[in-house]
Amino acid sequence: MDNGVDMKAKIFHNPRCSKSRKTLELLLEREIETEIVEYLEKPPNYQTLKDILKMLDLKPFDLVRKGEKLYKELNIGKYENNADALLKIMIQNPILIERPIVIANNKAVIGRPPELVLSII
Q: Is 50 found in the same domain as 30?
A: no
Q: What is the pLDDT of residue 7?
A: 83
CA angle 20, 23, 25 (to 5 degrees): 110
Q: Is 34 found in the same domain as 53?
A: no
Q: Is 35 found in the same domain as 58?
A: no
Q: Is 53 found in the same domain as 90?
A: yes
Please give the residue range of the domain that contains residue 62: 44-97
Which amino acid does the sequence have at 120? I
Q: Which of 4, 10, 17, 40 is catalytic?
A: 17
In this predicted structure, the answer to whether residue 60 has a pLDDT above a threshold of 90 is yes
Q: Is 69 found in the same domain as 81?
A: yes
Three-class secondary structure of residue 100 per DSSP: coil
**pLDDT, tens only, 65-106:** 999 999 999 999 999 999 999 999 999 999 999 999 999 999
Q: Is 74 found in the same domain as 48?
A: yes
| Residues in Cβ contact with 42 at an 8 Å cutoff, skipping those fewer than 6 apart | none
- Please state whether the predicted TM-score (pTM) of the whole model is above 0.85: yes
Alpha-carbon distance of 114 to 17, in angstroms, equals 11
Q: Is 65 found in the same domain as 80?
A: yes
Q: Is 84 found in the same domain as 58?
A: yes
Q: Is 49 found in the same domain as 79?
A: yes
Active site residue 17: yes
Number of domains the chain contains: 2
Q: Is 92 found in the same domain as 50?
A: yes
Q: Is 72 found in the same domain as 29?
A: no
